[in-house]
């Protein structure tokens, strides 16, 4: 490696450290600004951790929201246990030395931040796998790290950052397999373990084996099915490992609840799901989808409940839509301008994001309509949005100087967005948090 390449690598490494440090700093600020016990579903998550640490068992499923830690049941008790089991270890240690519940809660919040920092690192690795250019990968990573809701979510007790980590991590070998058409047995084993850990963190991880099967079929078709034995072997290793890692949880759920996917809160729009609602009333379904998607987008970008007393949702949403349209047009320009973008890989990543969205949409229709406010459910594919955003705005910018100005401007605007959210949060809790 020549001196210039080493210098570029050092600068890239420093930039990545700065991005991760900024994410950690923002997460810590959000953690301390957000009133203790007032994060999204935070008492329910805390009860789960406490039950594993003190009772060595998953709490009973509550079918109403658990707003305080006084309950012994939790409406999050239907969730897989990995995140809670990990944090049960420090809970047990801190509880053993007599620390108060509030102090333990604060520590658990802070221990979630390193999970977020590791997630941001894997966002970079996924973006680098796609772009194969460090500056572009760094830009995508900075975009994700500075999404206000990303840092906010890492600063409170929840399992959404953990599923974001495992999903992003697993997408790296999946994308590499799609690009090269090859995956070694050891890599398939590792991928299976990652998919299993993702599913053990949150059932949302089930999108990963679906994407993996799509990739396996694509790899097989690309070779005109000449490599079907290797593809089948790799699929068997990966899916078998995944089943060994996570299958026991679903067996437990079936034994206890007669279903592999129990629910706590049940308030559906239409119990028949997307297909049933679409056939029953297409117009109504389109309207419900539009309204729910609008809320999802707004709450993905920022924890809007902290802002709603001070900022009207409509102009806020319209601003996000305008930026999305600008980015989409830029993406079209970028794809038309050159063939250096891996369109097949981009299509795979977009399909993954769409699959995540469809899974969410079916959930709010058939299970819990209030999940339309849980924009954090899109954080597992935030890395894909970062890649698309970089490509989109790159389509508008010509020349290195223009791109540098664009990146700096984008970072400043996103830091200002975080400052606005933090300011709103301070005012929100100062006013009683209502």
Task: Please give the average pLDDT of every successive group of 10 residues along the chain, which has 434 residues.
Answer: 69 94 98 94 97 96 92 95 98 97 97 98 98 95 98 97 98 97 96 98 96 97 91 97 98 95 85 76 81 91 94 94 95 89 96 94 85 88 97 91 93 97 95 73
CB neighbours of 307 closer than 8 A, spacing ≥ 6? Answer: 316, 420, 421, 424, 428
What distance in Å separates the CA atoms of residue 274 and residue 280, rounded to the nearest whole number?
A: 10
Task: List the domain range (segments joined by +) for residue 89.
Answer: 3-158+263-430
Q: How many residues does the chain have?
A: 434
Residue 274 CB contacts under 8 Å (≥ 6 apart), including other chains: 285, 358, 361, 362, 365, 366
Domain boundary among 262, 284, 306: 262
Tell me what pLDDT residue 167 has: 98
Domain count, the chain: 2
pLDDT for res 283? 80
Same domain, 365 and 386: yes
> Quick one: 50 and 175 in the same domain?
no
**Residues 235, 281 within the same domain:** no
Cβ-count burial 206-226 (b if 16+ within 10 Å, e if not): bbbbebbebbbebbbeeeeee
Give residue 261's Cα distance to chain centre. Answer: 20
CA-to-CA dists, residue 121 to 21, 114, 205, 404, angstroms? 11, 11, 19, 22
Residue 95 CA to residue 6 CA, distance in Å, equals 48
DSSP strand E in 61-162: where? none
Do 244 and 281 have their domain in common? no
Q: CB-hemisphere CA count at 13 Å for 158? A: 25
Q: Do the beta carbons of residue 239 and residue 192 sit within 8 Å?
A: yes
Clarify whether residues 140 and 102 are in a common domain.
Answer: yes
* Euclidean distance between CA atoms 211 and 349, whole angstroms: 9
Q: What is the pLDDT of residue 434?
A: 61
pLDDT of residue 267: 82
Local structure of residue 368 (DSSP, 8 states)? B
From the list 387, 405, 332, the residue with the least C-alpha distance to 131 is 387
Residues 213 and 166 in one domain: yes
Q: Do 127 and 201 fall within a single domain? A: no
Amino acid 347: pLDDT: 97
Domain identity same for 357 and 232: no
Q: CA 183 to CA 191: how far, in whole Å?
A: 10
């Amino acid at each position: 490696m020549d001196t210039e390449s080493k210098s570029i690598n050092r600068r890239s490494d420093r930039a990545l450290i700065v991005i991760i440090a900024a994410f950690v700093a923002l997460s810590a600020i959000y953690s301390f600004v957000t009133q203790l016990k007032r994060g999204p579903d935070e008492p329910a998550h805390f009860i789960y951790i406490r039950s594993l640490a003190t009772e060595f068992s998953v709490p009973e499923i509550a079918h109403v929201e658990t707003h305080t830690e006084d309950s012994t049941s939790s409406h999050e008790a239907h969730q897989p246990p990995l995140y809670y089991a990990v944090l049960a270890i420090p809970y047990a240690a801190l509880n053993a030395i007599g620390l108060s519940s509030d102090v333990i809660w604060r520590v658990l919040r802070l221990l979630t931040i390193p999970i977020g920092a590791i997630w941001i690192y894997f966002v970079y690795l996924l973006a680098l796998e796609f772009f194969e250019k460090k500056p572009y990968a760094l830009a995508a990573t900075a975009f994700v790290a500075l999404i206000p809701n990303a840092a906010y979510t890492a600063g409170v007790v929840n399992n959404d950052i953990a599923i974001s980590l495992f999903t992003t991590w697993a997408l790296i070998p999946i994308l590499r397999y799609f690009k090269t058409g090859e995956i070694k047995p050891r890599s398939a084993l590792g991928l299976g373990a990652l998919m299993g850990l993702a599913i053990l963190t949150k059932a949302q991880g089930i999108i990963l084996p679906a994407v993996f099967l799509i990739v396996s079929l694509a790899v097989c078709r690309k070779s005109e099915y000449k490599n079907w034995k290797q593809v089948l072997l790799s699929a068997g290793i990966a899916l078998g490992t995944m089943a060994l890692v996570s299958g026991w949880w679903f067996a437990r759920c079936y034994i206890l609840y007669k279903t592999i996917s129990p629910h706590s809160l049940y308030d559906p729009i239409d119990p028949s799901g997307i297909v049933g609602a679409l056939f029953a009333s297409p117009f109504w379904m389109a309207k419900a989808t539009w309204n729910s998607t609008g809320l999802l987008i707004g709450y993905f970008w920022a924890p809007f409940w902290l802002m709603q007393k001070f900022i009207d949702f409509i102009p806020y949403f319209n601003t996000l839509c305008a930026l999305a349209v600008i980015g989409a047009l830029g993406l079209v320009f970028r794809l038309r301008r050159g063939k250096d973008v891996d369109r097949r890989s981009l299509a795979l990543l977009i399909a993954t994001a769409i699959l995540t969205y469809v899974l969410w949409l079916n959930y709010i229709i058939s299970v819990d309509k209030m999940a339309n406010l849980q924009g954090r459910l899109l954080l597992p594919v935030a890395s894909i949005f970062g890649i698309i955003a970089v490509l989109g705005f790159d389509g508008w910018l010509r020349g290195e100087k223009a791109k540098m100005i664009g990146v700096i401007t984008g970072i400043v605007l996103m830091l200002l967005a975080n400052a606005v959210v933090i300011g709103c949060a301070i005012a929100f809790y100062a006013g009683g948090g209502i």
